[in-house]
A and B are shown apart, each in its own frame.
Chain A
């Protein structure tokens, strides 16, 4: 079955710097890759997603890139702000199934 690995597990950046979180997946049939942000005491919330027919997607300070050949996708946050501090999860879903396989999460700390 699908396996998703996420790195790093923790990441500290200075306010204004960029942050990059990377995920790799194992199942070449996976075609939908969402990223979630989870704030303390809350449920995960979708922040951006990408499908396998697209290589990059941007939404203001957030971007996701996908390399299907290498089976990895990355979240890029530019001009980080203290409110970006949270746990971020990547996930992969096989279009033929209902399962979303999640990475183990990255705790991002933005230092003011």
Chain B
């Protein structure tokens, strides 16, 4: 039981490049989340998926797109990276019976 896994762990992009951050969970949770973490700002919600096939915007969705490929996988795409998207990105899934969120180890992204 690996929990929530994220790839890659680190990534450096140039402004304007695109990339997809991958997330998968093996806990059979319906709900999945993408957050970004910036110094002094806590975690901010980018996108949310209540179940396979559904997604919804969070607090800071601009510049991002998501895909809930199936129940296990929830990917985050940056179409044209900007320096303001330099951050640590966390994926999480939620156990609906307890409201507990389980976080992945994060992806540290730097946009030059």
Please list the residues of chain A having a beta carbon within 8 angstroms of any beta carbon in chain B.
4, 6, 9, 32, 34, 36, 41-46, 49, 89, 93, 98-100, 102-105
Contacts and interface: CB of A to CB of B under 8 A. Distances in A.
Contacts of A49: 99-100
B87 to A, nearest CB: 14
Contact of B90 (A4, A41, A44, A103): A44
Contacts of B105: 41-43
Interface stretch (B12-20, B37-45, B63-71, B72-80): B37-45
Contacts of B34: none
B99 A32 contact: yes
B42 A42 contact: no
Contacts, number: 51
A46 B90 CA distance: 14
B83 interface: no
Q: Is the interface of B mostly helix, strand, loop or mixed?
A: strand
8 contacts: A4-B42, A32-B99, A34-B101, A36-B103, A41-B105, A89-B43, A100-B101, A103-B42
10 pairs of A and B residues whose beta carbons are closest in the complex: A43-B103, A102-B42, A102-B43, A104-B42, A44-B103, A98-B48, A43-B105, A32-B99, A46-B100, A43-B90
Given A43-B105, A98-B31, A93 B42 contact: no
Nearest to B104: A43
Given A43-B106, A44-B103, A49-B100, A98 B90 contact: no
Contacts of A36: 103
